[in-house]
Structure 1
Amino acid sequence: MADNMKLLLISSFLCFVVYASNGPVPVVIWHGMGDSCCNPLSMGSIKKLIEKQVTGAYVRSLEIGSSIEEITMVCSKLAADPKLQDGYNAVGFSQGGQFLRAVAQRCPSPPMLNLISVGGQHQGVFGFPHCPGGNETLCEYVRKLLNIGAYISLVQAEYWHDPLNEQEYAEKSVFLADINQERSVNATYKSNLLKLKNLVLVKFLQDTMVIPKESEWFGYYNPGQDKKLYTMFESPLYIHDKLGLKTLNDTGRITFLSSDTDHLQFTEQWFIDNIVNKFLM
């Protein structure tokens, strides 16, 4: 009788292990600047949508601010979460996209499996939101004013990238220049990013918030001016494979997606068809 009970307990345990290992991969989402983890009109609805579509999925919406100092805190929180220890998928919205990339590069445990950047500014920005508009001269003037103190303000210094002075950007950027290997090459950043199964980059074709919008696909302005743009494939990051982007692409692990809308303006069905069904199931 005792032996039968032991067998029953062992069988039950094995069934649990099999079920747990075959269950849905947990999802971590990170909001953009000015948003919050649980806004029912944004991250709250995204969390519910994923939970509805991926039955039984554990979805953690990060209750964190928009400062780069929060990345270390996020790494600690993820490492302490027992539900994430076998790996998780990450979805970052706007600034949350490059913040989660920093997590992938700096904190490989627990392992991030798929990184989905929805409108993230991976080469930074050089412009005022919703500009250019009807008056390009005014927009250019505003941009020059912003540029004067860009690397003094912590918020600006996180993602501001002045193509007219690449040296100052590389020296003074407190975040982006580091994770993009602009000052020195950190081999660990590259090896950690190469652990991803997929890197998914979403660009909004009518984006008036992120300038230039090509930053969402790792494109940016050619150095020394702010008109002509290069693509990811023409960037030093890609050509010299500083981050592993070329290796990821050569192995079929980068996906470029687009939405013909303004910044973060997508339908639930678009998100289900392009993100949930393809990368979170």
Structure 2
Amino acid sequence: MFKLSLCLFAALCCATAAYAAPTPVVIWHGMGDSCCNPLSMGAIKKLIEQNIPNVYVLSLEIGNNVAEDEANGFLKNVNKQVEMVCEKLANDPNLANGFHGIGFSQGSQFLRAYVQRCNKPAMKNLVSVGGQHQGVYGFPKCPGANSTLCEVTRRLLNIGAYVDWIQATLVQAEYWQDPFNLKEYEEKNIFLADINNQKGTINQTYIDNLNSLNKMVLVKFTEDTMVQPRESEWFGFYAPGQDKQIISMNQTDIYQQNLLPLRTMEQAGKIDFLSVVGDHLRFTDAWFVSTIIPYLAQ
């Protein structure tokens, strides 16, 4: 009888392991998009669910409805958005044992901010698809159907990205990095300069939390006309004082001064650099399934 009980217990353990739920996935959309657009994030959510059976997928909605979610991608202080997401994820029982995060465009650096500032529950892999981790300097065009919001954004950035009320209101100003005015950027930018540890005081929690990731996957679009410079998607940027020469991640102050654990993570094999031939967020379902799904299925 004892041997039979052991066999039954072993069989039950094996069955439980075999049918354990996969790691949940959290999605954060980009500018001009929303959580549930059937042609964008809705389709991505479905694609993940089709390829990872029984997975729980949460596509973040910032606001009370889709219209508010889209508008908040332009006009809601990013720090407040991150606070909202920290609370939302902490209260979701489906995420209690951790999750993978995948961000699209600006949603990528917002999810990184979640990791650095909160990370309870803990993120395992962070997949950044076209994220602007060193920010942008240039606003060539704007996606989405809301041309009014796009035009308002352009005009406010032209007025002055580092004016206090613009910083507090306009999302894109909060990851605007002017290579000609780095001191002003470091002093007045309220989001990106903070999560990149460029405010003068090193936040060790940011470093430790980011280093806790199993993987940070950085996807760059080789013909990107939306992100200037596109190398920001791999933590590169313009060399200080001009907007022509590009420096790579390992030439930046963030890397060389260990403001973030990029060197440590790179040496440990925790950063994967991927590229897609095409413009911003232009990829096929086949590419997503073959290249990105494996990171989300771990």
Q: 1:177 to 1:110 in 2, by over 3 A?
A: same
Separation of aligned partners in 1, 2:297 and 2:180: 40
1:202 paired to 2:219: yes
Report the secondary structure of 1:48's partner residue: helix
Change (3 A) 1:147 1:123: farther
Aligned mate of 2:100, from 57, 82, 89: 89
Q: Could you tell me how far apart the structure 2 residues matched to 1:146 and 1:77 are? A: 30
Aligned to 1:178: 194
What percent identity do the matched residue pairs reach?
56
Q: Could you tell me which residue of structure 2 aligns to residue 39 of structure 1?
A: 37
CA-to-aligned-CA distance 1:33-77 (integer Å, 9 cap, x gap):
110000000000000000000011100000114331111010011
Residue-pair matches, total: 263
Deviation at 1:109, TM superposition (A): 1.1
Letter in 1 for 2:59: S
Among 216, 219, 231, the alignment partner of 1:214 is 231
Once the 2 structures are TM-superposed, how far is the Cα of residue 15 of structure 1 from its aligned partner?
A: 7.5
Look up the match of 2:82: 71
Q: Please give the alpha-carbon distance, in whole angstroms, between the structure 2 residues aligned to 1:13 and 1:70.
A: 43
Deviations 1:111-165 (A, max 9, x none): 100000000000010012249xxxxxxxxxxx99945411232323311100001
Distance 1:70 1:145, change over 3 A: closer
* 2:74 aligned with 1:57: no
Alignment check: 8 A CA contact 1:147 1:162 kept:
no
CA distance in 2, matches of 1:147, 1:247: 38
2:68 maps to none
Structure 2 partner of 1:158: 174
Cα deviation for residue 263 of structure 1 reads 0.4
Q: Structure 1: state its 5+ residue gaps.
A: 1-6, 132-142
Range moving further from structure 2, 191-200 or 271-280? 271-280
1:196-275 matches, cutoff 5 A: 196-275=213-292
Q: What is the match of residue 107 of structure 1? A: 118
TM-score normalized by the length of structure 1: 0.87
Q: Deviations over 1:67-109 (max 9, x none)?
A: 3111101001101111111110000000000000000101121
Distance 1:33 1:145, change over 3 A: closer
Which residue of structure 2 aligns with residue 125 of structure 1? Answer: 136
Gaps of 5+ in 2: 1-5, 63-71, 143-153
Q: Is the 8 A contact 2:102 2:127 kept in 1?
A: yes
RMSD value, Cα:
2.4
